[in-house]
Structures are given as structure tokens and as C-alpha cells.
Structure 1
Amino acid sequence: MASAILASLLHPSEVLALVQYKLSPKTQHDYSNDKTRQRLYHHLNMTSRSFSAVIQDLDEELKDAICLFYLVLRGLDTIEDDMTIDLDTKLPYLRTFHEIIYQKGWTFTKNGPNEKDRQLLVEFDAIIEGFLQLKPAYQTIIADITKRMGNGMAHYATAGIHVETNADYDEYCHYVAGLVGLGLSEMFSACGFESPLVAERKDLSNSMGLFLQKTNIARDYLEDLRDNRRFWPKEIWGQYAETMEDLVKPENKEKALQCLSHMIVNAMEHIRDVLEYLSMIKNPSCFKFCAIPQVMAMATLNLLHSNYKVFTHENIKIRKGETVWLMKESDSMDKVAAIFRLYARQINNKSNSLDPHFVDIGVICGEIEQICVGRFPGSTIEMKRMQAGVLGGKTGTVLAAAAAVAGAVVINNALA
């Protein structure tokens, strides 16, 4: 906690958010009276603590269904991602996993000992037990997305991942992330929380997934290169280097940053759809569930833009204080639009006028501003509040100072 506050000392709103988070009572989720749910949420916590918290804040009607949707796809991914499993063994599981989830008692023990989520599959009978207790409508959605994703994984496992064109890039991101967006939208509509239109606008649901995935791919350049994975499309990087590896060479720094700008432009082209989709979500818990990853992606793109560390450092992340602040603020469309406007302005201000994508980035950032001002006029007031640190006017100055003092107290206590 102390290190997080130190990293955010120049950002009073983040310090306040961290202190509020530290001092606020945490929601206790008790599943002790239901052994199946207890095991489900144990596995959810083990596979992703951050995602677990967001899922458990959903309304009861959707919470178990989305928890199981995540765990089923994580199980599928754990088989696909394990390079110790030979292809002949792997492919049948990928192609039939949507049927396996209906088989009571099924478990899987063929993962290598170092596979991170191996235990999830060793105890997968608990996931199946929970899945079979879901409403048939949710089972159908989960099985359908699992089938489509499993077939996509099988295709890439046999043919290899060759991301040559931007169309290849979009197709790959669709299989690994866009399909998740489609499944979630179908659940939101199936439970009655959202209009049928949310599920029908598959283009918007797909863009929600693609924006997140493309942001992660841009960020993870060096890590993927180390693991001998190539997800940046050749149609983009081929304009700046002979090979993807050439981008890390110090003499190619200028070209590398231009290539990164190109990747960021490609990701930001989905923001119009993201804003349109979020404006359709009316249930508060669904809205926050959808909005938090999107604003974090926007914050990450701001961190990546013109940042040569993408080519020299792994594990580039936004500050913990920034993360907590974003989670706190992402509870209304006006606030989310304000966040997008703030980051769009920062991205645009960091752009290099000599960068070939200077105009492209400026146009997209201008469109974000135009859309938000026109459709979400309340975002202007929210943005002024955020820019002030906490609240507008003198109160904001006082609270910003109070946040810094509170942060110092926490630091002293932590270091004592």
C-alpha cells in the first residue's frame, strides 16, 4: 500500500482513492452454505483476483453464470496454452470442450506440472457441477461460445498463428476476445437486465473485446517476443522493420515508436463502438463490469503512447492508485466519457508532430471529444471535477491536500 501511495503522490485523486479503498469495509462473500459455489469462487480467486472482485459485484442473477463462463473458458485456454501437451492429444479436447462441460465428474490431469491453472482442470468436476445448475439459457450461451472459441484455437494450433494482415489480426482477436464480448452481451439480454438490442449488436460486442485484446497485445510486445509469439500484424510492423525483432534495436528507436503509434491507432479505432455499447447498458452492475476494463485499456494506451519502454521493459502497467481511482469513478456514462476525454487529450498532447500517425491520432482523439460532448454533455462537468484532482473549486484543493496528508499517514504507519 505504501509503495502504491508513493507512486501516486503527484496525483491527489489517486491517493484519496487508495486511502478510501484501504479504509473502506470490504464486502464479504460467504458461500459456506453451498459447497459447489464455495469451490467455484475459490477457483475464481485462484485464477484471477482482480476479475473475481468485479464478477462478485454483479447482481445475483448473473454472478454465477459469468463466473462459470470465465472458468470454462479459462479451462479451455489452459489446455490450449500448455505446450507440454502434444497436438494429437490437445486437438480433440479443444474441439469437444463444449460437450465435455456437460459430462459430470470429468477432470483433466495431463497439463504439465508448471502450468499456472493446472489445478482448475484437476478439479474441473466442480466447474461442471456448477455449470449444470445454471439456467438452460445460460448453459446454451456458454456452450456455444466455448465451441466457437475451441474450434478457433484448434485452427490456430494446427495452422499456426500467422498474423500477416490487419484482417488476420482482427480475426485472431475475435476468437480470443471478441467472442467473450458476444457471450456476455447475450447473457445480459437473456436475463432481462438489458435490451435484446445489446445482444443483437454483435459488431459492438466484438469491438469491446478487440479494444481490450489489442491494447494487451501492444503492451506485451517484448514478453511475447521472448516467448516466440508474434501477434503484431506484419501489415503494420513490416512498414517499419525487416523483422519484428528489429524494433528492439536501439538504432531503430524512431521507427519502433512510429510502429507503436500505428498499433495504438489500430486499437483506438474501436473506441467509437466502445462508447456506443456502454451507452446501451442500463443495469448499474453490468455497466460497471463492462466499463472498468475499457477505461483501464484507455489508461494503458495513454501509458504506452510514445513510451519506448514497450521495447525495453516487460510488465508495463498503470499505477495501482490509477487502477483504484478508475474503478471508483466508472459508475456512470458521464464519468466514463469524461475519463475517455481526459486520456484522449493526454494521448494527443504526447503525439510527436513528426510521427506519420500524428494526424490519425489527432482525428481519433477529436472524434472522442466530439462524441462525448454531443452525446454525454454531463461528461464536461465530470471532467472538470477530475481535472481539479477530486472536486472543483476550493473544496477540491482542500480534499487534494487532505488526500496527500492521509497518504503520508499511511506511509508512516506502513514504514513504522
Structure 2
Amino acid sequence: MVSLGEILKHPDELYLLLKVKMAARNAEKQIPRQPHWRFCFSMLRKFSKTFAFVIEQLPTELRHAVCTLYLVLRALDTVEDDPILSTDVKVPTLKSFHRNIYDKEWHLSCGTKECKVLMDQFHHVSTAFLELGNRCQEIIEDITKRMGAGMAQFICKEVETIDDYDEYCHHVSGLIGLGLSNLFHTSGAEDLAPDSLCNSMALILQKQDIIRDYLEDINEIPKPRMFWPHQIWSKYVDKLEDFKYEENSMKAVQCLNEMVTNALTHVEDCLTYMSTLRDPAIFRFCAIIMAMGNLALCYNNIEVFRGVVKIRPGLAAKFWHYTRTMADGYGAFYDFSCMLKSKIDKNDPNTNKTLSIIEGIQKACRDSGLLNKRSEPRYRPAVVVVVLLIVLAIILSQLSGRRSSNHCEFY
């Protein structure tokens, strides 16, 4: 969803948004016509258009395996999050879920909205899973089994320490990184990466989600979901929900900055992992530039406790379009680290640690020798004219009252 104001401020991004939209439509045409695959990819888009888009750019067999892995684990997450299911139901269901994926008759009524549809019609996912190669099935089963056991463990356990935090993020996200790496290797496209690097790639994604979702999680009904570790937030307030209140704004931002700093410790591992990738489609799938961008936006930003903070769609489209090589990856990480560095408050209690990590990231980017080799946007005059005409048409449409909303949806 892109506002007219954003288009006027960044008209060059409209062209890229349209290109992404066209690429998404072309990818959609390649989805098999069988009902179970149609269901799987339509559910994928309902959960996340962005994630669906990058998955759909993968080679066919890998695309199907990654889509199935995502939906199986999304179903597992639905069981964990359901506020109605009792612990006595959740724990055994999570632990046995890896067996249910082989059963076309299995389903469980839980979740809401898209999650409920997924759980009610899980037979489509099972059918898709059973069409995958044996090795892909083994990988998905193994990751599902390990993740289910980890989730069951944290049903009855709070995230108290930073070690708990890392362990929880490993169970719910790091294992996905390991599963994806195994699927990439099984496809023959990539070497098998060390578990520690795969884990870091997934942890930074999970941690930026936990940071950005503070308000949604703390307002969860019937009770808050608390993933920020007590070891960090207890330095600043007595209760995690206290960060919602304006009188605690300074303490909230200081805690937020410590959380972002913790997430940044994974960046250098991520750069190492990304630098080993050979397949262009897999590289673009794994290029976690938006995670770094979101962390830079969140740092020192009180709006995290007031609403949603995220990269604008046009900028996301720009990074997707121009991130083709590791030189582009280093360039984007360097730019976002500079942005974050400019926001560091010398009075913040974690300033020295944050600065040290940022300088380490920047050094890694410089030492690569690739910063001056990144792709640069080049717009032909005809493209610029087309973009300006589209913007003008949107403005005229808005002024004439033919549109009832002040937003235009592209991607």
C-alpha cells in the first residue's frame, strides 16, 4: 500500500514498484494448476506478499519445497499462538506435528483469519509435502520436529535471560535457516553452510520482528506475549508494558537501543553467509537488507512503542531490484550502518557497544573491496517521462474525486 504523498516524494520508486508488481504476476503464472499448489501459494501471499514474492522467484523445485516448509511451520506457529487451545493440547500437538504432515486427513480447528483457513484445509499442504522429493521431506520433517519441541519448551517458560532469548529465536527461526540451507544444498545450487551462520541469518530476522512487534505483542488478548528478555528490559522498568506510557519514553528508547544493538551482533555472520552464495535467485532470497534497514529505522525511535515502523514499499522495491551481487549487499549494509551511526546518542548507556558493532560492520564492508562496485540505478529519459505521467494521472484522479481512498496499492 503506497500513499500519494510517498509517490510525490519518491517518484522514481513508482517505476520500481510497477516492475515488482509485474514480476509478481509473471511468477504467479508459473504456479501449477493443481488445487493443492494453488492453495499453498495463495495462502503464502495472504500471509506475506513480500515473502511470497521472493519465494516465487526461486527455481521450481526449490520454490515448492520452501513454500511447503513455510506453510508447515506457519501452521506450527498457529498452534503455539492460539489463545484458546490449552497447554495440555498445545504441548503434545507441537511435539507430534512432524508426523501430522504425512496425514492428508489431519486438520485442527484453531487460529483466526488466514491461519484458520490454513489449519482447516491443511490437507492441501500435506498433499504438496508428499509430492516433494524424499530428501526435501526428510529436511522439513526434521525441522518441524525440532521446532515443535522447542516451542513446546517455551509454552511453559518465560524469556528471562539473553541466552533464553537466543534459544527461543533459534527454535522459532534459526531452525528455519538451517532447513533452508539444507534445501539449497539438496537442490545442488549451494554448498552446505555452517549452522552458526544459518542461525545468525534467521536470528536477525526474528529479532527485528520481535522489536518491531512490541506494541502488537504487549496488547495481545487475552494476555500479552513477552519476547523481550527480562535481563534487558528490567534494567529500565518494572513491567515490560510500562514502555507504552509516555512518561517512560526515555527509558523505552534506551531499552530499544539495547535490543537493536543485540540484534546487530549477528550482522557480520550474515555478510559472511551471503558472500558464499552462488545462485543469483537464492542470493536475492537471502539478502536480508530490509532487516538491517528496519533496525536502522527502529534505533532511537519512540514510534516503535506507538505503532508500526518499517521500510517504505518503494525503498524495499529499490533494494530488491538493485541487489544483484554481494557488492550491492555490502553497499546497502554500509549505507544503513551509516544511517544508524548518525542516530547514536552519546548519552545512551549502550553507546560504546553500539558504536563498536557498527564500526565492525563498516570495516567488514570496506575490507571486502566491493563498495565501489555496487549496481547504480540508471533511468532512461523515456522511463522518467512514463513515471511522471503516471504520477500526474494519479494526482488528477485524486483531485477529480474518482478515488475514495488516498492510497494506491501496487505491491
Same fold (TM over 0.5): yes
Counterpart in the other structure of 2:37: 37
Check whether the contact 2:11–2:388 (CA below 8 A) recurs between aligned residues. Answer: no
Q: Classify 1:363/1:406 alpha carbon distance in 2 versus 1 (closer, same or farther; 3 Å).
A: farther
Equivalence map 1:326-365=2 (5 Å)? 326-365=319-358
Classify the secondary structure of the residue corresponding to 2:154. Answer: helix
The letter of the residue matching 1:78 is T
Structure 1 segment 20-59 matched on structure 2, within 5 A: 20-21=19-20, 26-27=25-26, 28-31=28-31, 33-59=33-59
Mapping for residues 9-28 of structure 1, pairs under 5 Å = 9-11=8-10, 13-21=12-20, 26-27=25-26, 28=28
Of 118, 127, 134, the residue aligned with 2:125 is 127
- Normalised by the length of structure 1, the TM-score is 0.88
Give the C-alpha shift of residue 84 in structure 1: 1.1
SS in structure 1 opposite 2:3?
helix
Amino acid at match of 1:120: L
CA distance in 2 between counterparts of 1:32 and 1:214 reads 34
Task: Describe the shift of the 1:270–1:5 C-alpha distance in structure 2 as closer, same or farther (beyond 3 A).
Answer: farther
Q: How many residues align?
A: 395
Aligned to 2:227: 231
* Residue of structure 2 equivalent to 1:145: 143
- The amino acid across from 2:165 in the alignment is Y
Tell me whether 1:299 sits opposite 2:286 in the alignment.
Answer: no
CA contact (8 A) 1:300 1:317 kept: yes
Larger deviation, residues 96-105 vs 175-184: 96-105
Give the match's secondary structure for 1:360: helix
Matched with 1:371 is 364
Within the candidate set 251, 254, 264, 2:250 is matched to 254
Alignment of 1:12-411 (within 5 A): 13-21=12-20, 26-27=25-26, 28-31=28-31, 33-108=33-108, 110-111=109-110, 114-157=112-155, 159-160=156-157, 162-196=158-192, 198=193, 201-227=194-220, 228-291=224-287, 294-311=288-305, 313-375=306-368, 377-382=369-374, 385=376, 390-391=377-378, 405-406=388-389, 408-411=391-394
Greater mean deviation of Cα atoms: 353-362 or 184-193? 353-362
1:242 deviation in Å?
2.2
Distance apart, 1:362 and its partner CA: 1.9
Distance 1:302 1:316, change over 3 A: same
Q: Could you tell me whether the CA contact under 8 Å between 1:15 and 1:403 is conserved in 2?
A: no
Segments of 5+ residues of structure 2 without an aligned counterpart are 401-411
Backbone CA RMSD of aligned residues: 2.4
- Structure-2 change in CA distance of 1:36 and 1:5 (3 Å): same
C-alpha distance in 2 between matches for 1:304 and 1:33: 41
1:94-117 per-residue CA deviation (whole Å, 9 max, x = no partner) reads: 111111111232222x215x3541
Measured in 1, the distance between the counterparts of 2:286 and 2:395 equals 36
Q: Distance in 1 between matches of 2:350 and 2:9?
A: 30
1:372/1:379 contact within 8 Å kept: yes
Distance, in Å, in 2 between the alignment partners of 1:410 and 1:273 is 46
Is the Cα contact below 8 Å between 2:46 and 2:114 reproduced in 1? no
Secondary structure of the 1:281 match is: coil
Aligned-partner Cα distance in 2 for 1:20–1:239 = 47
Instruction: For residue 210 of structure 1, report the CA deviation from its aligned partner.
Output: 0.5
Aligned pair partner of 1:412 in 370, 395, 399: 395
Q: Does the CA contact (< 8 Å) of 1:19 and 1:407 recur in 2?
A: no
Taking every aligned residue pair, what percent have the same amino acid on both sides?
36
SS in 2 for 1:46: helix
The 2-side partners of 1:207 and 1:92 are apart by: 29
Counterpart CA distance in 1 for 2:396 and 2:206 is 39
Relative to structure 2, which stretch is displaced further, 248-257 or 29-38? Answer: 29-38
Change (3 A) 1:43 1:220: closer
CA contact (8 A) 1:16 1:407 kept: no
Give the TM-score of the pair, scaled to structure 2.
0.89
Distance (whole Å) between structure 1 residues aligned to residue 196 and residue 42 of structure 2 = 34
Distance 1:399 1:258 in 2: 48
